[in-house]
C-alpha cells in the first residue's frame, strides 16, 4: 500500500462500492480531471489492486439461496491428494468459495444450491465421488447478516 496515495485509496473505495461509476463521476468525487483518474484506475488494475469487476447477483432470485459451509478433511496430507482435491472442486459450480484452513479440517467450502434436497444430491453425487476426501462437516446458514463484498482499509 505504500505506493498508493490518498487519491488512489479514494478511487479504490469508490469503485469497491460501485464499479459502474464513470471516469467523469470518479473524477468529480476525488477532485481531479478525468484524464489522470483514467490513468490512475488503469495503473491500479495493472498493479493488481483491482482484480476484476463483477455484478453481485441475488442468489434467492436465481434459486441458489441455500448456503452451506462445508468443512473438508483430506484422506491424506500428500501434495498429490491436495492437488487432486483442488482440481476437482474447481470444477464444481455449486462451490462458490474455497479456503485452505488450519485446525481439525483442511478446507472450508461455501456451497450455494437451491435447497436441502439439492445439497444432499451434491454431497452424495459430487463430493462423495472425490477420492481425496476423508471427512466432511456441514453447517447451514440460516440468514446472511453481513456481507460487504469489500475490504476495509
Tens of pLDDT along 88-145?
Answer: 999 999 999 999 999 999 999 999 999 999 999 999 999 999 999 999 999 999 999 9
User: Vertex 18, ends 15 and 19: CA angle to 5°?
Assistant: 60
User: Vertex 96, ends 135 and 137: CA angle to 5°?
Assistant: 20
Does 149 have pLDDT greater than 90?
A: no
Residue 98 CB-half CA count within 13 A: 15
CA nearest to 133, candidates 98, 93, 105, 112: 105
Does 74 have pLDDT greater than 90?
A: yes
The whole-model pTM stands at 0.88
What domains does the chain contain, in order, with CATH numbers? Answer: 6-46 (1.10.10.10), 66-140 (3.30.70.920)
By the 8 A CB rule, do 85 and 41 touch?
no
83 band by pLDDT with thresholds 50, 70 and 90:
very high
pLDDT of residue 91: 97
pLDDT of residue 101: 98
Share the mean pLDDT of the chain: 96
Amino acid at each position: 500500500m505504500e505506493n498508493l496515495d490518498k487519491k488512489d485509496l479514494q478511487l479504490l473505495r469508490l469503485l469497491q462500492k460501485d464499479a459502474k461509476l464513470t471516469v467523469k463521476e470518479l473524477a468529480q468525487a476525488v477532485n481531479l480531471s478525468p484524464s489522470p483518474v483514467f490513468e490512475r484506475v488503469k495503473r491500479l488494475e495493472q498493479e493488481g489492486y483491482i482484480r476484476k469487476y463483477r455484478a453481485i447477483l441475488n442468489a434467492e432470485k436465481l434459486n441458489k439461496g441455500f448456503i452451506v459451509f462445508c468443512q473438508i478433511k483430506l484422506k491424506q496430507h500428500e501434495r498429490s491428494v491436495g492437488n487432486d482435491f483442488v482440481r476437482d472442486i474447481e470444477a464444481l459450480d455449486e462451490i462458490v468459495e474455497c479456503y485452505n484452513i488450519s485446525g481439525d479440517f483442511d478446507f472450508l467450502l461455501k456451497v450455494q444450491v437451491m435447497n436441502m434436497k439439492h445439497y444432499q444430491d451434491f454431497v452424495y453425487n459430487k463430493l462423495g465421488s472425490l477420492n481425496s476426501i476423508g471427512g466432511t462437516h456441514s453447517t447451514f446458514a440460516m440468514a446472511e447478516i453481513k456481507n460487504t463484498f469489500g475490504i476495509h482499509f
